[in-house]
Copies of this chain bind each other. A is one copy, B any other.
Amino acid sequence: MDPSVLHDLLLSVQNGAVSVEHALHRLRTLPYADLGFAKVDHHRALRHGAPEAIFCEGKTEAQILKIARGLRKHKVPVLATRADDRVALALKRLSRKAVYHREARIVVIPSTPPKPLQGDIVVVTAGTADIPVAEEAKVTAMTLGSAVDTLFDVGVAGVHRLFDQVDRLRQARVVIVVAGMDGVLPTVVGGLIPTPVIAVPTSRGYGAHFGGLAPLLTMLNACSAGIGVVNIDNGFGAGHLAHRINTLVTRP
């Protein structure tokens, strides 16, 4: 509900155009959200410029387009994750501003000119095959307005590559660590730096990896403290959480 509607109703009570009983009735029957939840969402959009995300898997092309059109009607940017080439093409037909980040499998349609990116998030991967998930995290956080740096293929097998970058990691406000296989990288990173670490297990592996279960358990049981875990392959979730933490820093 638009606050002005509520304002008008109260004015009508004040000037006698609406009786108290009738106003009471209207207030009782107003949907909840009109008083508050819509405001919440509005508030969030103002503060973050956060695009609504469309998770494309399991949705038809028609459904994705319909949601995207709705968002654009309300001047909200579009962030479509797990998008394949066909979805990307369809969204590009919807708007020439649409950009397809193929490795991240994300299509972004910005609603406004880009603002300068703020803060400092670093995304680290253990291996080459973890890069698509890392890219999903990166594109998500950047679209939300965070500055993101990447550091790929610094797994424990080549641990010296990681140690070379410890100072860089310490400067970051948040570090996202993406790892498949045994998923030990977040534990090692978490023990080296005082920064919040977001751990993302990936489904990369085989055998007793069980589709990402192995690194997920490793991360949940991490000996190092200061680590929050998101779902397997959930680059979007990691990027979103990192952005929330990253933008905390600059709040007054």
Contacts and interface: CB of A to CB of B under 8 A. Distances in A.
Contacts of A203: 207
A32 B166 CA distance: 9
A230 interface: yes
A79 to B, nearest CB: 11
Interface stretch (A85-93, A104-112, A208-216): A208-216
A-B pairs, 4 with minimum CB distance: A228-B228, A33-B160, A207-B232, A37-B160
Contacts of A53: 225
B164 A219 contact: no
Q: Which of A214, A219, A233, A234 has the most CB of B within 10 A?
A: A214
B223 A156 contact: yes
Interface in A11-55: 11, 13-14, 16, 20, 23-24, 27-41, 43-44, 47-48, 53, 55
A32 B237 contact: no
29 contacts: A10-B24, A13-B13, A14-B20, A30-B35, A31-B164, A34-B164, A36-B166, A37-B159, A38-B160, A44-B194, A59-B129, A127-B223, A184-B218, A194-B244, A198-B228, A203-B207, A206-B232, A206-B233, A206-B234, A207-B216, A207-B221, A207-B232, A213-B217, A220-B230, A225-B237, A228-B230, A228-B241, A248-B249, A249-B251
A141 B43 CA distance: 29
Contact of A221 (B34, B208, B226, B244): B208
Given A240-B226, A248-B248, A217 B220 contact: no
How many subunits of this chain does the assembly comprise? Answer: 8
Interface residues of A, number: 109
Nearest to A213: B217
A167 interface: yes
B167 A223 contact: no
A221 B214 contact: yes
A78 to B, nearest CB: 15
A39 to B, nearest CB: 7
A118 interface: no
A241 to B, nearest CB: 5
Contacts of A241: 196, 225-228
Interface string A138-174: 0000000000000000011111110111110000010
